[in-house]
Homo-oligomer: A and B are copies of this chain.
């Protein structure tokens, strides 16, 4: 069912230098067993069934810990606040995962995306948006520090 035993989780934590706590384990199990792309709120709802006393803040903290360690990824690089894109014509984005800056790239600068397999039947594609994820010059010259979070 769950797929990850306590000893595996223990090992995972040790590898990333994290303390093994009961709530972290429960949160981890919830995350791995939930379909799709769960939100902190959803995780909290599920986790509190096992640990009724748990706090939402704990869930947030644990999730951020996992993200920082690269154990999980974050769906959207640019969440947090609505951003308006004045550029109506199709284009792509160059995204710095450190400073979160977004630069437009012309659509013609990238070869058209091609599928190898057909998509789920009935899905109408409007356009392809390519996000080029990496580290911008400014960020990479400072701080050879921690690897950035992974974004998916």
> Is A48 interfacial (CB 8 A cutoff)?
no
A37 — nearest CB in chain B belongs to which residue? B83
Interface string of A25-43 (1 = CB under 8 A from B): 0000001101011111101
CA distance A72 to B23 in the complex (A): 43
Interface pair A150/B79, CB less than 8 Å apart: no
Across the interface, do B85 and A73 meet the contact criterion of CB distance under 8 Å?
yes
Whether A40 pairs with B81 at a CB distance below 8 angstroms is: yes
Interface residues of A (CB under 8 A from B): 31-32, 34, 36-41, 43, 63, 66-67, 70-88, 90-91, 93-94, 96-97, 102-103, 105, 108-111, 113-117, 119-137, 140-141, 150-152
